[in-house]
Each structure stands twice: as C-alpha cells, then as structure tokens.
Amino acid sequence: MNFQDLMKVETADKYIDLAFFSAKKESDKERTKVLLNKNLDKVQKSQIIENHKLKVIGRSLSASLKKIVHVFPAYKNLTPFYKELMANYMDIPSYKKSLGALNWASGSIERMSYFYNEKIRRCREFNAINAYRQQYYGRISSFLKQVKNDLIYLENCRRIMKDFPSVKSMPTVCIAGFPNVGKSTLLLKLSTAKPEIKEYAFTTKQLNIGYIADPETPMKKVQLIDTPGTLNRLEEMNDIERVSYLALKYCADMIIYVFDLTEASAPLEDQEELFNALKKQFKGKDLAVYLSKTDLLDKEGRKKLDSFKKKKTGKIRAEDDAEKIKKIILEKMSGLKTMKTSQVSPEEVPDSAPEDGTQVNPTQSLGKYKKYVRV
C-alpha cells in the first residue's frame, strides 16, 4: 500500500466552490446554445439550463466524495502491519465513521439531484424553477456542512498516513540492531537502496527499503527493511522504534542482526542483550548475524572477531562478509512464495450519516499526532 499517493482532502467549502464554478462554466456554454434555439419557449430554456447546472454540481460533489471513499484504505483489508500501525496513530472507529459519512453524503447528493431534476423537468412556471434551484443549493450545501468535520479529520489522517512506509507483501528480511551499528550500510551493500548514512545515532528516521533479486530467477525478489535504531528497551519504545518493532513482528520472514564489534555505537554487552531479547521475542523467525565495521578492528579486535564468530556458530550464522549474508538470505527466502497483497475495497465502508451531537475523542491513542485530530 502506497500511502504517499493518497489525495488531499479539501474542506467542505472548497468542494462546494469547485462544484459551483464548474456548473457556471458548463452552464454558460449550454446557455449560449439554448438561447439561440427559437423552438424553445422561456420556461423550456430555463428548464434545460437549470437542470444542466444541477447535474454538474451533483456529479462534481458526489464524485469528489466517492473518490475519497474509494482511494482511502479500507481498514478491514489491510495487512496486520498496517492495521496496527494505523491503530497506533489514529482512532479507527472515527476513521471508519468519517468514511461512512462521506459515503452517505455522496449517495444523498445523487438522490437529491435526481429529485430536483425531475421537479424542474415537470415544472411549467418560471419562478418555481428558480425556487427549486435555490432549494437544491441549500440541501446539497447542508449535506456538505454535515460532513465538514469528517473531511477535516480524514485530511489529518492522510497527513499521518503519508509518512507510513510502503511495505510490499513479499518475502521480507528486516535488518535490526542498535543505532549506528551499520544497518543502513549493510542495506546499501545488499541492494540498490540509497539510505542516508551519518556518523551519529538515529540517522534513520524511517524504514529504508531495498530489494535483492535472485540471480537465477531475477523476477523473484526479496524485500529488505532497514529498521530504525531499536534500543534495548522494548517496553518503552518511541515512535521510530514502534514502527521498527511492527516491521519485525509482522513483515519479517527473517532477521539480520547487526553487531558492531568496535563498540563505537554501543557496548557489546548491550548489543548482546538486545540480540537475546529479539531472539526470544521473535523465536519463530529465521535469524542470521552480520558483523559490521570489521575493517576498523585492530589486531586485538580481530581476535575478538574470531572468538565472536565461534560463539555464534550453530543454527545462527555470523558473517562479516555482506555477500555471504546475501547468499544466506537467498537460500532462506527461496522457498517462500509472495504473500497475498492487501486490497483496498470501498465495499466495506458503511453508509452512515453523521451522528449529530456525538463527539469522538481519539487523542488518547495518537500521541504526538493529537494536534491533527478533531474532537
């Protein structure tokens, strides 16, 4: 799911202005043709012009609301990774309610447009036609006003979701470890991704994603995720670490844990503590160890490297060569098939009118995103 492509949700007034502008532009063209038709009387000409206005306004407003409902992801059809990611930053009942309100408004506008088109078509009084047009304007404007807070809320949700990573449903390897141990450098060596690499902790502010193609079957690819620096405090994760944890939990078929034996990033004891915690937490997943920055080790460090490799032998392989790690990944992932891609379906969106007088407070689950939420 590519959340970066979600369309901006405008305000209710903006949609009304756009619809009326389109109606004026189109009706001016229609008016020129109609007024030149000598076979029509004054009432017939008014009927044609006003009905054309109503149709343009109705189509514009209904289509704008429908597009939002269709484009925004249906929570039910998302993968567990995205479901929990959304639940961490948004209030899901409010999200569903707002999409349902827009679905209701779109249908109501279509029905109201048909109703007033028929009234004008059958009307034979010039003044009554103008009155029906004004009534129609008031009714559809009322529908938009009723969902104005839902439009604001969904735009705020979009601002949150546009920062979500674009993770594909395919065989996936997550690269984990302390900040600045060399995770992004490993991703760079293994794939064509170009992550930002700096000499300080928390360089990675989001999930960096790359891909490895199997040389024998280039169409088969493995997704690599460089997870933001996970500190050894699984019970007190910040926003960056929470996304990292969810990727490890839901996306990873295999985890590459990176050790920095120079200990420039963190003491080896702390790195081992996190390694053991992750191994216990995700014991059902394949695991391999990459030893980074070995070219910076002195003679004593090289001895430590050999000792460390022996200590990690057995089922968990430890390598300081990125090409060997790549080979391990392809061996482990070769048997995995691409998982079913999540689909977005507007059919699951309820058709519900806004609940007058009901206010939803989703801020308790939003953390730093509280400022985006309507209450």
Higher pLDDT, 370 or 246: 246
The pLDDT > 70 percentage for the chain reads 79
Question: What is the Cα–Cα distance from 153 to 145, expressed in whole angstroms?
Answer: 14
Residue 196 has pLDDT above 70, yes or no: no
Q: Do domains 3-164 and 172-333 have the same CATH topology?
A: no
- Concatenating the DSSP letter of every residue in 289-324 gives EEEE-GGG--HHHHHHHHHHHHHT-SSSEEES-HHH
Sheet of 317-319, strands arranged across: 208-213, 221-226, 172-176, 254-260, 286-292, 317-319
Question: What is the Cα–Cα distance from 173 to 254, expressed in whole angstroms?
Answer: 5
Q: pLDDT value at position 82?
A: 93
* Residue 91: count of CB within 10 angstroms of its CB: 21
Residue 89 has pLDDT above 60, yes or no: yes
The domain segmentation of the chain, as residue ranges, is 3-164, 172-333
The pLDDT > 90 percentage for the chain reads 37
Question: What is the Cα–Cα distance from 262 to 246, expressed in whole angstroms?
Answer: 29
pTM (two decimals) = 0.76
Amino acid at 9: V
Q: Which residues pair with 260 in a beta bridge?
A: 292
Model pLDDT for residues 116-175, shown as the tens digit of each residue: 999 988 888 888 888 999 999 999 999 999 999 999 999 999 999 998 888 888 899 999
> Which range among 11-20, 247-256, 332-341 shows the weakest confidence by mean pLDDT?
332-341
Model pLDDT for residues 106-120, shown as the tens digit of each residue: 999 999 999 999 998
Cα–Cα nearest to 78, from 345, 369, 347, 337 = 345
Class assignment of domain 172-333?
alpha beta
Residue 372 has pLDDT above 70, yes or no: no
Helix (H) or strand (E) holding 239: helix 239-246
Please tell me the CATH code under which domain 3-164 is placed: 1.20.120.1190
Q: Which of 18-32, 103-117, 190-204, 332-346 has the highest mean pLDDT?
A: 103-117
